[in-house]
Structure 1
Amino acid sequence: MKISQTSIAARVEIDAKPATSTRGALASLSLSMLLSSLGISIANVGLPTLAASFSASFQDVQWVVLAYLLAITALIVSVGRLGDLIGRRRLLLIGISLFTLASILCAVAPNLGLLIAARALQGSGAAIMMALAMALVGAAVAKDKMGSAMGMLGTMSAIGTSLGPTLGGMLIASVGWQGIFLVNVPLGILAIVLAWRFLPVDRRQAKTDRTGFDPLGTLVLVLTLLAYALAMTLGRGSFGPVNTALLLVAVGGVCLFVFIENTTSSPLVKLAMFQNPLLSGGFAMSALVTTVVMATMVVGPFYLSGALALNTASVGLVMSIGPLVAALTGVPAGRMVDKLGAHRSSISGLIAMAVGSMILPVVPISVGVLGYIVPLAVITAGYALFQAANNTAVMTSIQPEQRGVVSGLLGLSRNLGLITGASVMGAVFALGAAGSHILQATPEAIASGMRMTFAVAAAPIVAAIAIGVISQIVSRRRGQ
Structure 2
Amino acid sequence: MLLASMAVSITAVALPALSRTLDAPVSAVQWIVLIYLLSVTIVIVLAGRCADLFGHRFILLTGLIIFTLSSLLCAAAPNLTMLIAARAIQGIGGAIIMALPVSIIRGMVSGEQTGSAMGLLGSMSAIGTALGPALGGILIAVFGWRSAFILLAISGFVLLVPAIKAIPASPPNHKTSRSLDLSGATLLAIVLFLYAVITTGNKNGLNWDMTITIPAVLVALIIFACVESRSSSPLVPLSLLRNPVISASLITNLLISSVMMAMLVVGPFFLSFGLLLGEAITGLVVAVGPVVAALAGIPAGRITDRFGIRRALAYGLAVMSIALICMALLPVRFGTAGYILSLIMLTPCFQLFLAANNTAIMLAAPEDQRGILSGLLGLSRNLGLMTGASVMATIFVTALGQEELVHAAAKSVGFAFTVTLLTAAGLALLSLIITLISIRK
Pairwise TM-score range, normalised by the shorter structure: over 0.9
Match of 1:355 in 2: 322
Matched, 1:41 2:9: yes
Label 1:238 to 1:373 Cα distance change in 2 as closer, same or farther (>3 A).
farther
2:275 to 308, 318, 340: 308
Could you tell me how far apart the structure 1 residues matched to 2:275 and 2:332 are?
A: 7
Could you tell me how far apart the structure 1 residues matched to 2:301 and 2:246 are?
A: 19
**Which structure 1 segments of 5+ residues have no match?**
1-32, 475-480
TM-score normalised over the length of structure 2:
0.97
Match of 2:292 in 1: 325
Cα deviations across residues 264-302 of structure 1 (Å, max 9, x unaligned)? 111111101112110000001101111110010111111
Match of 2:398 in 1: 431
Residues 102, 374 of structure 2: 8 Å contact kept: yes
Residues 139, 200 of structure 1: 8 Å contact kept: no
Instruction: Note the C-alpha offset of 1:243.
Output: 3.9
Could you tell me how far apart the structure 1 residues matched to 2:13 and 2:341 are?
A: 26
Match of 1:380 in 2: 347
Alignment of 1:61-140 (within 5 A): 61-140=29-108
Instruction: Note the C-alpha offset of 1:142.
Output: 1.8
Residues 232, 243 of structure 1: 8 Å contact kept: no
Alignment of 1:438-477 (within 5 A): 438-474=405-441
Question: Which AA in structure 2 matches 1:404?
Answer: G
1:184 to 140, 147, 152: 152
Label 1:114 to 1:327 Cα distance change in 2 as closer, same or farther (>3 A).
same
Could you tell me how far apart the structure 1 residues matched to 2:206 and 2:218 are?
A: 16
Secondary structure of the corresponding residue to residue 235 of structure 1: helix
Instruction: Note the C-alpha offset of 1:239.
Output: 11
Cα deviations across residues 367-396 of structure 1 (Å, max 9, x unaligned)? 120111111222211110000000000000
Residues 231, 242 of structure 1: 8 Å contact kept: no
Q: CA RMSD in A?
A: 1.5
2:192 to 219, 225, 228: 225
Instruction: Note the C-alpha offset of 1:185.
Output: 2.1
Secondary structure of the corresponding residue to residue 402 of structure 2: coil
Runs of 4+ residues deviating >4 angstroms: 237-241
Could you tell me how far apart the structure 2 residues matched to 1:136 and 1:187 are?
A: 20
Calculate percent identity across the aligned residue pairs. 42
Could you tell me how far apart the structure 1 residues matched to 2:24 and 2:122 are?
A: 35
Could you tell me how far apart the structure 1 residues matched to 2:257 and 2:129 are?
A: 15
| Count of aligned pairs between the two proteins | 441
Cα deviations across residues 122-162 of structure 1 (Å, max 9, x unaligned)? 11100011111111012222221111110111111111111
Residues 231, 244 of structure 1: 8 Å contact kept: no
**Which structure 2 segments of 5+ residues have no match?**
none
Instruction: Note the C-alpha offset of 1:365.
Output: 3.3
1:249 to 204, 216, 240: 216
Residues 429, 450 of structure 1: 8 Å contact kept: yes
Question: Which AA in structure 1 matches 2:20?
Answer: A
Could you tell me how far apart the structure 2 residues matched to 1:44 and 1:427 are?
A: 21
Alignment of 1:287-298 (within 5 A): 287-298=254-265
Alignment of 1:278-293 (within 5 A): 278-293=245-260
Label 1:279 to 1:73 Cα distance change in 2 as closer, same or farther (>3 A).
same
Residues 188, 224 of structure 2: 8 Å contact kept: yes
Could you tell me how far apart the structure 1 residues matched to 2:178 and 2:155 are?
A: 35
Residues 237, 427 of structure 1: 8 Å contact kept: no
Label 1:274 to 1:205 Cα distance change in 2 as closer, same or farther (>3 A).
closer
Question: Which AA in structure 1 matches 2:301?
Answer: G
Secondary structure of the corresponding residue to residue 287 of structure 1: helix
